[in-house]
Amino acid sequence: MELLTVEISLEGKVALVTGCGPNIGSGIALALARYGAKVAVNDVSKESIDACIARIERNGGEAMAAPGDVTDEASVQGYIGSVLERWGRIDILVNNAALLGGRGVLDETAEAFQRAVLVSAMGNFLNTKHAGRAMAQRGIKGSIVCISSSNGWNGSAGVCAYAFHKGGVNNFVRAAAMDLAPYGIRVNSFTPTAPNPDNPELLAQWQREGRTPFGLRPGASGGLGAPEGTDEWRKPARFEGPRNPMVPMGTTGTPTDIGHAVAWLCSDYARLITGTDLVVDGGARAKNFAYTPAAPDQLAGPLPLIVLDETPTA
């Protein structure tokens, strides 16, 4: 009996990735391209788009810019239209656009909270609506992936708006999956947690700026709920950066790990997976709150990372 070899291929497919910033968005876009898809990259930042396209192209992929504000319906229709005009179809949509960070409930401003929720809510809705319509009209049984977060399932201090809108993403996915199932279009969420950046340009930039490998500026943790944290009544910050010792497998992974999993979720092998959440977090969400993982020197760790970006890191 001949054994089957699973080889993920997105050849012939067209993908749109919103929020192509240099960490998770760029990693997913690169992975989809490396697996054979043509990738349209969206952001409000021309710098982020240009860097993402350059990264895809230097690794042998094909990409195009899809600039625009995900909260504006005319803008979304415009860049989706430009993708259809160039490549004639959209098979994959990855809703990644979001505002990271923020403040805790004691300090967040109404304006910042509203903007963060708006970007996530309208970005997921409008792109799913118009990319979904483009798929349905053409009889394309596509895949839509909305990027969630461990903050959408569990609580963290200092990111109340982020936690609020990521929680909303999770149920939006289930509702949209029901709406689009009759068309053969799948809708799922993907949950990472604090991945270790592996984009060479981003790491080099943070090193020049004196940031930690997690992107934190010196002294940025401050007091709980605010970067300043100078009030006498403030409780100390809970997060100083490295989370790996609390992860059962010893690492939260990288955007490349995320990219591999999203590519598989968008492939034909995942044809019946819809309305669910795929978690890649080294076991962080699975562990009981009272469980303390083994010390780093006692962990076997995961298999070696299958690298997608061949750029030297030095």
Q: Strand 63-65's sheet: what is its strand order? A: 63-65, 38-41, 14-17, 92-95, 143-147, 186-191, 277-279
What is the DSSP-derived secondary structure letter of residue 254? -
State yes or no: pLDDT of 213 exceeds 70: no
- What is the spatial distance between Cα 279 and Cα 277, in angstroms, rounded to a whole number? 6
More confident position, 264 or 104 = 264
- What is the spatial distance between Cα 260 and Cα 43, in angstroms, rounded to a whole number? 22
Cβ neighbours of residue 106 closer than 8 Å, sequence gap 6 or more = 225, 226
- What is the spatial distance between Cα 136 and Cα 146, in angstroms, rounded to a whole number? 18
- Which CATH class name applies to 14-298? alpha beta
State yes or no: pLDDT of 220 exceeds 60: no
What would the two tokens of residue 2 be?
């001949």
Indicate the pTM of the whole model. 0.91
| Best CA proximity match to 49, nearest among 68, 34, 35, 31 | 68
Cβ neighbours of residue 294 closer than 8 Å, sequence gap 6 or more = none
- What is the spatial distance between Cα 28 and Cα 258, in angstroms, rounded to a whole number? 7
State yes or no: pLDDT of 228 exceeds 70: no
Q: What is the pLDDT of residues 88-135, one digit of tens each?
A: 999 999 999 999 878 888 888 999 999 999 999 999 999 999 999 999
State yes or no: pLDDT of 141 exceeds 70: yes
Could you state, in order of their start, the residue ranges of all structural domains in the chain? 14-298
More confident position, 68 or 245 = 68
pLDDT score of 223: 56
Q: Is the Cα dihedral 115, 165, 221, 69 positive or negative?
A: negative
* Strand ranges for the chain from DSSP E: 14-17, 38-41, 63-65, 92-95, 143-147, 186-191, 277-279
Active site residues per annotation? 162
